[in-house]
Structure 1
């Protein structure tokens, strides 16, 4: 039922919404999984860093103990002392003696090497160790790969068990340890190649692939302060490149849902923007409702003796809106008071000069029951006419009888206005409720007869009979009769025969026009001329 009043978007627009929403959903899920992977990779890297720092500390401490040992190198006492050192430091696999020309002479595990084991002449130098060999093959056993770090005449070999029990969250990740200055790779962990390790450490800073592109690594690096090594963790598949089929389907379904929701919401928003209440609020805020003015003519003389202000609204979205529609909408949504006050100010400003020039000239303004019964509105109108130097008796408030239930409310309200000197006009008399009771209860200054009775003149219909009855009804009352919808001089003749002081409005004289045109009509008084009175208009 809700969507039945909504102008749904075309399939082309829905398709665009869906494509954009699915793309946005995939990207958001990419960022979500990327964030999770980055967090897990950071924990993994910090675990490697922590274990590496412990290993470096133990290597440095064991080397210092060996260097400061005053036993004869490679003697039983020296070997036993180094074996005791191994017991203290679980991340040290072996410790021994090395010569200045890079030959391993003996170790705590293997004893004396005969002949000594020659290491390569070229090694890596850093500020913690005199020289190191990150990778040596077949050092003690064929096929065995170990790293060797030396200081003074001692060397250590870190234990391969140093990095066991470190939790990694996926098989696509790994870590590379390397020197912070020369970027010599000490070791790689898990499922990365040396080529991938070289690429990872070549990035100047952490590489987070916010934009999903193929073969773009997620890398995080840490270089601990006080150490000469760095570690870079690598994730080779991130974001939606690592999403499962179920995660892809979920992302697409979320995109479809929000795409349809966005399309429908936008349609509802656009429909609401075109709704009467929305446009009316917008018109009030931007002062878009205006007034046109229709002359009230003394039928016997043709003289314009007053003006009725008629509200009009031309909306950009809705076009021309009937006063019956937007006035009813304003009443239902408690907007009638600000609307009336806005229009009253315009009416008084437009007609001010004519009201001041002729104390008998009147301005008729339509009021709702809400405005009439609102005590603050009376204060408002008092202030407005006082500021403009207008007499209360020049202002006629027209009230339409819409409900018999309004009788008591209207009765009290009209008395307040009458006591202040304003005139009250009963609009559309004969078409509403309780005509006679309203007429006797409120004692209006003026009664307006609806155009449907005027159109019945000469037809011998019920409306014609009702019109004649109205003449008889008000003949002995001190009220003015105003006839709406006059279109011919024959109608004027008929009305003046029955009511010589009748007042009329209608297209015979003028449609509702702007204030400038009213000024010209008042100046020229064209309906008083003999030519006009002698000739009808088509």
Structure 2
């Protein structure tokens, strides 16, 4: 990653952090507006309930009075009015006329009532913002039922909305069909449908609606406020913090990316995290083409999606000190994948590549025994392929090889012919089979020297009475040539099957 790209990335992240801070500050600002609006809405609803409840209480208390508009009746109305908070007057209705009231007394001639604005479900008739029946200079609300009429005080809602709050609100019936009181500009303020989605999101207009309980007054309150402020204190603080934090994180990301891109780091993560795959290539008898076993082969696909050759990542893992971890990972996966087939057919085996580091590990034999015991597999069903160049002069290595064979595991010498082979090496190893390297198989019919080496190796395997496995068989011509010289040999190569995941390997 070039310096220019790093600088551009850090700058871009800082800008994103700044914008994220502005957005977070905006959300905080809107949240504060929402909280303020909801609190106002709840207070207004509670106040409207108190006003409605007092009107209903006075109507109920005045219904069973003495003779209408008698001195005793007017006196009763005045007592009720004296104890009221939000009602300015209480009157009597007779034949559609206001006959008397606590404030005005009895009228010689009654005052006709205008048609009510609407009637609630409980039978109470309401006049909203109507001129007073006695003195039109007085404007207020009225409620009536039967022969009782109450006049709500014009100042019953003083303080709503709060001065300077910028809140518009209105009190409506539960169905939203009738408006009982308006505050501010409410011509386009409607009660949202029940169960509808929230209408606020990130819009500057905030709206809150709340209704009284079903058993209480037929009241709902809907309020609205607008917030156009973006760069309030929360947004300023969070935008600066977001820019700094994003720049810092971007720097960490760059450092991590530079480090994580290294092949060693990625390979270490894959091995220790169990992200190495295992494929299986069949081994078949040359004479019958019957399945003899499988070789377990490690496969690694990098995070970029590229398949990395085992010839590259296996030596790298060993150089990093992860060869033993890789071997144990492949071993565990192979036994897990093939245990049912190996138990069902004792003649089959799975061969696993082991390194010199594995053979020097005193705990490796115990690991193998625990692994085969866990899956119920006999040790004879597992072959360990030891590279020809493994240092048998090291006493620990030779001791481990002998101990493994004594326990029942097979031991193969892998890539035979590419190292410093001699009969003494084979005698010391006491291997069960040798695997002829593929480069000699490719020489069949093309290089005389390669053909002579094949014949020589076949002769060695016969003389020592050990098995022979020949790698890299890709054509029928190669298979026929080898079959003619060593019918008991086992073949491995694309002609008999490519390495594949366990779900795709041959059934027989």
TM-score by length of 1: 0.58
TM-superposed CA distance for 1:236, in Å, is: 3.2
Match of 2:90 among 83, 86, 95: 95
Q: Deviations over 1:126-148 (max 9, x none)?
A: 34455332112466667542112
2:22 is equivalent to residue 63 of structure 1: no
Distance 1:25 1:516 in 2: 67
RMSD: 6.1
Q: Counterpart of 2:119 in 1: which secondary structure?
A: coil
The runs of 5 or more residues in structure 2 that have no matched partner are 285-294, 340-346, 453-458, 463-468, 487-508
Higher mean displacement: 36-45 or 265-274: 265-274
Aligned pair in 2 of structure 1 residues 149, 83: CA closer, same or farther (>3 Å)?
Answer: same
1:46 to 42, 48, 56: 42
Asked if the contact 2:92/2:147 (under 8 Å) is kept, the reply is: yes
Q: What is residue 437 of structure 1 aligned with on the other side?
A: none
Q: Matched residue of 1:233: which SS?
A: strand
TM-score (norm 2): 0.60
Q: 515-524 vs 319-328, which deviates more?
A: 515-524
With over 3 angstroms needed to count, the CA separation of the structure-2 counterparts of 1:122 and 1:501, relative to structure 1, is: closer
Given the superposition, is the C-alpha separation of residues 384 and 217 from structure 1 closer, same or farther in structure 2, using an over 3 Å criterion?
A: closer
Check the 8 A contact 2:125/2:145 in 1, yes or no: yes
Unmatched tracts of structure 1, length 5 or more: 294-308, 349-355, 357-362, 429-447, 455-469, 494-499, 504-509, 527-538
* 2:199 maps to 1:209: yes
Counterpart in 1 of 2:118? 124
1:195 counterpart residue number: 187
Question: Who is 1:80 aligned against?
Answer: 75
CA distance in 1, matches of 2:8, 2:380: 59
Q: How many residues align?
A: 437
Corresponding residue number in structure 1 for 2:218: 229
Is the 8 Å Cα contact of residues 26 and 252 (structure 1) preserved in structure 2? yes
In structure 2, distance between residues paired with 1:449 and 1:337: 27
Partner of 1:417: 404
Larger Rg: 1
1:173 aligns with 2:167: yes
**Stretch deviating more after TM superposition (282-291 or 218-227):** 282-291
Question: Matched residues in 1 for 2:222 and 2:14: separation?
Answer: 39
Partners of 1:220 and 1:51 in 2: CA distance: 15
CA contact 1:397–1:423 (8 Å) conserved in 2: no
Call closer, same or farther: CA 1:206–1:99 in 2, change over 3 Å. Answer: farther
CA distance in 1, matches of 2:475, 2:82: 109
Inter-CA distance 418–46: structure 2 relative to 1 (3 Å threshold): closer
Q: 1:245 aligns with which of 211, 232, 235?
A: 232
| Alignment CA distance shift 1:336-1:57 (3 Å) | same
Hey, what does 1:445 align to over in structure 2? Answer: none
Alignment of 1:105-184 (within 5 A): 105-111=99-105, 119-128=113-122, 130-137=124-131, 144-163=138-157, 171-180=165-174, 183-184=177-178
Separation in 2, partners of 1:83, 1:58:
15
Offset at residue 235 of structure 1 (A): 1.9
Return the alpha-carbon distance in structure 2 between the equivalents of residues 247 and 34 of structure 1. Answer: 11
Q: Please say if residues 379 and 408 of structure 2, whose CA atoms lie closer than 8 Å, have aligned partners that are also in contact.
A: no
Residue 70 of structure 1 deviates from its aligned partner by: 1.0
Q: Do 1:313 and 1:320's aligned partners in 2 also have CA atoms closer than 8 Å?
A: yes
Equivalence for 2:291: none
Instruction: Look up the SS of the partner of 1:229 in the other structure.
Output: coil
Residue 513 of structure 1 corresponds to which residue in structure 2? Answer: 472
| Residues 339-354 of structure 1 mapped to structure 2, 5 A cutoff | 339-340=330-331
1:334 match: 325
